[in-house]
Amino acid sequence: MKDYHTHHVSPNGGHICAVTRADWERVAAAEGMTPAFGVHPWYAHAVESPAAFAFELDEWLARYPHAQVGETGLDASAKYRATLDAQRLLLHLHLGAAFRHERLVHVHAVHAHAELLQILKTRARCNTLPRVLLHAWNGSHEMAREFLALGAVFSVGFRELSHPKAEERYARIPAGKLFPESDDAPQLWPRTLALFRLLRGGLGTEG
């Protein structure tokens, strides 16, 4: 089974996401992987010209027709809350590019699921919503249903799958909507996959 959200090359293939603009060349060259171009919300404030960023992202997506978008999102934790305005602007630029180029976008959300949901609902009403993967998903089943109604899918790693509430959070997410990820911990991939298959009833055919 492939790795649905990582920052490292995986021998099983998967989706390798950039964190900063400097990562784009690296992920584009990752053999056997699907690259995703973007800037993580932790670094959104460092983007000096959002307009130039938007043009460059369009150019890279046109150059790599198989590429995805991300990592982007909103992080309202205490450490990053002060940069939320910059994060919101970059999130909209990523979502716009993903919609225009018909690509999947990898989204990070910390203490911001409600705001993210409203942003996606607004885009859905305007018919400008791309396909969305919510990585490291740890929200409630009720919140998951809201995102599922918008066509979103989820990925989860070892941290999420080993949480005491893992079964409550993930067991009712439909097949084909929940996928394994290693994120920034490739060394945990075998244990992640074992936990994922255990949670999903031993089935390894979802991706």
> Mind listing the pLDDT tens digit for each residue in 26-85?
999 999 999 999 999 999 999 999 999 999 999 999 999 999 999 999 999 999 999 999
**Residues, the chain, total?**
207
> pLDDT, tens digit, for every residue of 148-157?
999 999 999 9
HEC string for 55-118: HHHHHHHHHCCCCEEEEEEEECCCCCHHHHHHHHHHHHHHHHHHHHHCCEEEEEEECCHHHHHH
